Amino acid sequence: MGMGIGKLKGIPIMKKLILLSMLIPFLYLSCTVNFVTGTPLAKKQEELYRKYKTGEKVDKKEIRNLKTNWWVLSASKVSPNNLIIRQWALIDLLIGVPLHHQEILTAMKQLSYYGDQKPKEELCLIWGEGYSYYLYTKQILTEWLRTFHIKNYEVQILNDNIDSIIFIVSGIEFGFAITSYQDRGLYYPAPFGDLRKQPLEDYLQKLVPSLQNFPQINCKGVERKLISHSLVEYKIDVKLVGLNVHIPKESSKIIVQDGIPINFNFYEGYENKYPNKEAEWKDILNPMRIISSWFIW
């Protein structure tokens, strides 16, 4: 999630004070410690993940910078998101030990609206940030699961947490498949979050026809109702996760007609998400997001 300092003109005085009080420690940290975030952090993750996959040596300093990134440490407390899960998974892969299994599981539960589901219940979950950011998270997380799931650890909670993460991943993919809609022969994920126009993965394409046997489907946060062959209605029940702005701040109803979501804007990158910095900060500092962040700790 990218942040920047925009003009404060037009923002009510109380919001200005809140904004400034939040910015002071962030500005201090950005000048004094490792505070890489947004696109630069994503690019660094891609670079180090490529090195890992190709067997290229990763300098210890680079691993240390991953571990001491203050933005990741603070965001995990007030704004759980795709980047922090990728960061933790990448660190574990580079050091060869799944140290962040509990942190990854906690964030996965938060972003999938896991709630109070019992461990053995059949899960129908979604990913609050939308399908595109789920795939982005999954890129490194899948490698993490592939690497560490095959080992039988002496600490049982580690084995249990890895199994739980796999269970949640299965629930998320089942949820996206069963709530999808069709456009020109391909199935697309339910329209919510910061979603790019992209179809479901190939193996989910094959799974969908066997799942959508009911006119109305309720999943965690998404209700899909088939009105006619060409008309699908979605009710998106938003659950805010701190200051994560990839998650919409309000619930909504969206109609998909002839494979086209009506009045839904597909995501074209964070740099195009807001018309200006004022709009960005108003979204970040939405009172309901702030209140939500208090309950993450």
Find the mean pLDDT for residues 27-45.
Answer: 67
Q: Is the pLDDT assigned to residue 290 strictly greater than 70?
A: yes
Output the pLDDT for position 203: 94
Q: CA 204 to CA 178: how far, in whole Å?
A: 9
Q: Range of 268's domain?
A: 13-294
Q: Is the pLDDT assigned to residue 11 strictly greater than 90?
A: no
Residue 5 lies in a domain: no
pLDDT digits (tens, 9 = 90+) for 161-191: 999 999 999 999 999 999 999 999 999 999 9
Q: Is the pLDDT assigned to residue 38 strictly greater than 90?
A: no
Residue 166 lies in a domain: yes
pLDDT digits (tens, 9 = 90+) for 56-110: 999 999 999 999 998 898 899 999 999 999 999 999 999 999 999 999 999 999 9
Residue 149 lies in a domain: yes
The more confident residue out of 251 and 156 is 251
Output the pLDDT for position 81: 95
Confidence at 33, pLDDT banded by 50, 70, 90 = very low
Q: Please work out, in degrees rounded to the nearest 5, the angle formed at the alpha carbon of residue 267 by the alpha carbons of 263 and 268.
A: 125
Output the pLDDT for position 22: 56
Q: Tell me the pLDDT of the chain averaged across its residues.
A: 87
Counted domains in the chain: 1
146 Cα distance to chain centroid? 20
Residue 228 lies in a domain: yes
- Check residue 65 and report its DSSP letter: H
Read off the pTM.
0.86
Q: What percent of the chain has pLDDT over 70?
A: 85
pLDDT digits (tens, 9 = 90+) for 117-165: 655 556 899 999 999 999 999 999 999 999 998 777 778 888 999 999 9
Residue 1 lies in a domain: no
Find the mean pLDDT for residues 195-222.
Answer: 90
Cα-based distances in Å from 12 to 17, 38, 151, 228: 9, 27, 55, 46
Cα-based distances in Å from 92 to 100, 170, 200: 7, 22, 28
Closest by Cα among 270, 226, 262 to 130: 270
Cα-based distances in Å from 120 to 151, 168, 171: 22, 11, 11
Q: Which residues of 186-201 are buried (b: 16+ CB within 10 A; e: fewer)?
A: ebbbbbbbbbeeebbb
Residue 40 lies in a domain: yes
Q: Is the pLDDT assigned to residue 45 strictly greater than 50?
A: yes
